[in-house]
Structure 1
Amino acid sequence: MNRAIAYACPMAAILNWWDGVELWLTGLPFVVQTAVVMPVVLALAYGSALVLDGALGWGITGLHRLRHAPADEVESE
């Protein structure tokens, strides 16, 4: 039971902080909301694009190595 309380407290603190951010953001005018939200959204989109690009490049490189391996290497494995 104590362990559940220990995990609940940090999550409750994060959720309370997030509620405060939401309330602050919704109280701003629309143009200011856009100016605050867009850098965050663009940074997240850029970061996820970098991660996906790297993963896709790694996967394609691995497939090329598998498909274009010499026949003697494939038979020896």
Structure 2
Amino acid sequence: MTAFLSWWDGVELWLSGLGFVLQTLIVMPVVLALAYGIAVVVDVVLGNGIRGLHWIRGNDGPR
């Protein structure tokens, strides 16, 4: 864990030394990919949860 935190500190220092435009160009793809991944996971979880509630109630689908 210490090695990872040390690496992360190095990346943070390197990134903070860059200009704003370069920081944005590097950070935005990472943030957008993470947001997309989280949205997909939440969509699947909620979809399965709703499907499970319909199954428990005995409904075949929305009316």
Report the TM-score, using the length of structure 1 for normalisation.
Answer: 0.74
- Over alpha carbons, which structure has the higher Rg? 1
- SS of residue matched to 2:10: helix
How many correspondences in the alignment? 59
How large is the RMSD of aligned CA atoms in angstroms?
Answer: 0.9
Please state if 1:66 is matched with 2:56. yes
Q: Which has the higher contact order (CA 8 A, sep 6+)?
A: 2
Runs of 4+ in 1 over 3 A off after TM superposition: none
Unaligned residue ranges in structure 1 (runs of 5+): 1-10, 70-77
Give how far 1:27 is off: 0.2
Please state if 1:30 is matched with 2:7. no
Residue identity over aligned pairs, in percent, reads 68
Unaligned residue ranges in structure 2 (runs of 5+): none
Report the TM-score, using the length of structure 2 for normalisation.
Answer: 0.90
Please state which structure has a larger fraction of its residues in helix: 1
